């Protein structure tokens, strides 16, 4: 695995590989890697000739009272995991190479920003699509891989790619879960032992939603109420519970053929999200 810190060097190396006809798969990350990230890396390896992974904790997607400074970082461990996963290139850019002095080319995140995490985290998705677009400019991958845990993020990136006419395939890969169902997340490290036990309720609430839908319930409000009843005694705060059209990522009042049930909750000061795609 070659570690690259210069965007100019990255462009040169990948340009030479493209001239040889190599297909490039790209996995952008903020580091503190877990099995969810590694599942994306392995899929990229199966489907491409070369795999590029980036590690960059993006400051523009964190709000003023969010966890940018304390976001977990473990570069030595990350590099070891990626070497074992047979990544070809690890790109670790500086902040100034992503956001040079005077940078103003922020990307609008599109209409889906009005739902779910968008209103709760103002500016977050603007930062996400901007940094992803910067990486797309530098890496110029054939395919980029994202996890379904951040379903709204993936849909917003898909919309950006269409809007900007970028020649990049976006693949959204299944959520990887712990044995008790908790979706893997770098922020799980923040949880105390008690909070970690309580966090099981997130997935349990989604399973309850699936149960209600399979029993014939189609009203979104009834499903949201069932989810809330599972969560209410286990989490410190429910940020949102939504039932969505999985194609448009917009809320529905009644389920037709499939639904995405999405939740965000706080355990202590840690905000966790999860979702479940349910087909009828």
Question: Which candidate in 37, 108, 114, 165 is catalytic?
Answer: 37
The span from the CA of 201 to the CA of 258, in Å, is 23
Q: Max CA-CA distance within the chain?
A: 58
First to last CA, the chain: 44
The span from the CA of 23 to the CA of 10, in Å, is 15
114 is catalytic: no
- The burial class, CB within 10 Å (0-12 / 13-18 / 19+), for 85 is buried
The span from the CA of 7 to the CA of 79, in Å, is 18
Q: Are 202 and 274 in contact (CB under 8 A)?
A: yes
Residues 6 or more apart whose CB falls under 8 angstroms from that of 16 comprise none
Which amino acids are annotated catalytic?
A: 37
């Amino acid at each position: 695995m070659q570690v690259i810190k210069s965007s100019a060097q990255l462009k040169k190396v990948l340009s030479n590989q493209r001239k040889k006809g190599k297909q490039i798969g790209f996995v952008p990350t903020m580091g503190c890697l877990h099995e969810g990230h590694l599942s994306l890396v392995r899929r990229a390896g199966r489907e491409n000739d070369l795999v590029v992974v980036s590690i960059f904790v993006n400051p523009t997607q964190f709000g003023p009272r969010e966890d940018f400074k304390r976001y977990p970082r473990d570069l030595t461990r990350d590099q070891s995991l990626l070497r074992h996963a047979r990544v070809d290139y690890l790109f670790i850019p500086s902040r100034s190479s992503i956001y040079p002095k005077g940078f103003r080319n922020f990307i609008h995140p599109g209409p889906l920003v009005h739902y779910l995490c968008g209103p709760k985290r103002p500016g977050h998705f603007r930062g996400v699509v901007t940094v992803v677009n910067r990486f797309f400019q530098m890496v110029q991958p054939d395919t980029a891989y994202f996890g379904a845990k951040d379903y709204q993020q993936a849909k917003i990136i898909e919309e950006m790619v269409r809007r900007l006419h970028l020649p990049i395939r976006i693949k959204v890969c299944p959520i990887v879960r712990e044995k008790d169902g908790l979706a893997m997340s770098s922020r799980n490290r923040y949880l105390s032992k008690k909070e970690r036990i309580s966090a099981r309720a997130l997935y349990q609430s989604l399973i309850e939603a699936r149960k209600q839908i399979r029993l014939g319930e189609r009203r979104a409000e009834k499903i949201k109420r069932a989810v809330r009843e599972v969560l209410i005694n286990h989490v410190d705060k429910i940020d949102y519970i939504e039932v969505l059209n999985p194609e448009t990522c917009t809320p529905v009042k009644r389920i037709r053929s499939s639904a995405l049930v999405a939740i965000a909750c706080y355990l202590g000061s840690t905000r966790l999200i999860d979702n479940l795609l349910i087909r009828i």
